Amino acid sequence: MAGGLIGLVLTGSAARVGVEPFFMELIAGMEEALAPAGATVLLLVVPDLAAELATYRRWAGDHTVAAVVVVNLVHDDVRPAHVAGLGLPAVLAGRHPGPFAKVVTADAAAMTTAIEALSGLGHRVIGRVSGPADLVHTAERTTAMRTAAARRGVGVEIVEGDYSAESGVRGLRELLACRPAPTAIVFDNDVMAVAAEQELIRSGVSVPAQISLLACDDSPLCELAVPPLSALSTDVHEHGLILGRAVLDLVDGEPVREHPGPLISVRQRESTGRAPAA
């Protein structure tokens, strides 16, 4: 591939996307992989699915991009078939049953690791503020969490968020109203976790003496939080590199295949500790 644009469409508000360290680091990794081939990422933020599908039609009609990367896959996602019907080469960031090039991360294994780590610290009820329930990786995390918790004899409470700071605080309040309330909470991204931790500190709740917190996306936000947040750590830059290389393989005519994403591990910081005494 010599030169060209690789399309990436994100749905949601530009303001929210702008505070997501995940996507900025992902794009940086993609750019690093694409640069030697003279390619670069064309990023567009749109308000909804209809606008995203219209963008793909416009790009295909104008031959704007050489390929696209499709992120945040949902159940019964119409986008992979849509871009294929337009003749746009596509790499999917996530699990999908169709014959597409894809990069798949071990979300289920990561959540299992989180439950084992927290239950090992004596937590018997663990909460979670998830991402949108229609996302494939949200469902994978939920299934893995419930399975691992049942195996360890741990109770779980899950409320749905939307990755925003506001939903992190709202989810925290819902979980603390449960009886029994969780002594540890997992958040599906860093923004929700940081906002919830700030709310706890403002309310005089000690972290981790009274409640432990764990974020699903590691980032500088987690390191700068007070106290620093433990996180399920994925090398997001490496994830972007893998996506970029998968795109180059696809447009160069390599066979369509599934690429494993980077490994995920628990990065222990100061926001997790032993469960408080009953």
Is 270 inside a domain boundary?
Answer: no
Beta bridge partners of 125: 155
**Coil vs helix vs strand at 230:** strand
Residue 54 reports pLDDT greater than 90: yes
Q: Among 1-15, 147-161, 175-189, 240-254, whose mean pLDDT is lowest?
A: 1-15
Using CA atoms, how far residue 85 sits from 56, 119, 129, 142, in Å, is 10, 47, 36, 32
Residue 115 lies in a domain: yes
**Is residue 268 situated within a structural domain?**
no
> Is the same domain home to 65 and 171?
no
pLDDT reported for residue 67: 97
Q: How confident is the model at residue 3 (pLDDT cuts 50, 70, 90)?
A: low
22 and 37 assigned to the same domain: yes
Residue 180 sits in the same domain as residue 95: no
221 with 163, same domain?
A: yes
**Do 29 and 46 fall within a single domain?**
yes
Positive or negative torsion for Cα 188, 191, 194, 198: negative
CA nearest neighbour of 115 among 75, 73, 178, 158: 158
What pLDDT is stored for residue 244 in this prediction? 97
Between 264 and 208, whose confidence is greater? 208
Mean pLDDT of 261-266: 87
Residue 85 has pLDDT above 80, yes or no: yes
pLDDT attached to residue 187:
97
* pLDDT per position as a tens digit, 136-181: 999 999 999 999 999 999 999 999 999 999 999 999 999 999 999 9
Average pLDDT over residues 175-188: 97
In this structure, what is the dihedral angle of CA atoms 78, 100, 133, 130, given to the nearest 10 degrees? -150
Nearest to 39 by CA among 261, 249, 260, 254: 249
> Does 235 score more than 90 pLDDT?
no
Q: Is residue 271 part of a domain?
A: no
pLDDT band at 50 (very low <50, low <70, confident <90, very high): very high
CA 245/CA 242 separation, integer angstroms: 5
Residue 274 falls inside a structural domain: no
Question: Would the pLDDT of 133 be above 90?
Answer: yes
Please state whether the predicted TM-score (pTM) of the whole model is above 0.75. Answer: yes
Phi/psi of residue 217, nearest 5 degrees: -115, 120
Residue 177 covered by a domain: yes
Q: Are residues 120 and 36 in the same domain?
A: no
CB 3 within 8 Å of CB 39: yes
pLDDT of residue 191: 94
- pLDDT at position 29, please? 97
Same domain, 181 and 162: yes
Mean pLDDT of the chain: 93
Q: What is the pLDDT of residue 138?
A: 94
Q: In degrees to the nearest 10, what's the CA dihedral of 98, 17, 24, 191?
A: -100
Determine the pLDDT at residue 17.
Answer: 61
The alpha-carbon radius of gyration of the chain (Å, integer) is 20
Q: Are residues 100 and 238 in the same domain?
A: yes
Do 116 and 225 lie in one domain? The reply is: yes
Integer distance in angstroms from the first to the last C-alpha of the chain? Answer: 61
| pLDDT band, very low/low/confident/very high, at 217 (cuts 50, 70, 90) | confident
Q: How many domains does the chain have?
A: 2
Concatenating the DSSP letter of every residue in 81-93 gives HHHHHTT--EEEE
Closest CA to 31 of 262, 243, 254, 256: 243
pLDDT over 70, % of the chain = 96
Q: What percent of the chain has pLDDT over 90?
A: 85
Hunting for tokens 């793909």 — which residue is that?
Answer: 56
Region 3-7 average pLDDT: 88
Same domain, yes or no, for 114 and 52? no
Q: Is the pLDDT of residue 18 over 70?
A: no
Domain that holds residue 120: 107-233
Structural domain contains residue 46: yes
* Residue pLDDT, tens place only, 19-42: 578 888 999 999 999 999 999 999
Nearest-CA neighbor of 195 among 72, 203, 145?
203
Do both 31 and 148 map to the same domain?
A: no
Same domain, 8 and 88: yes
CB count, 10 Å around CB of 32?
A: 15
CATH number of residue 155's parent domain = 3.40.50.2300
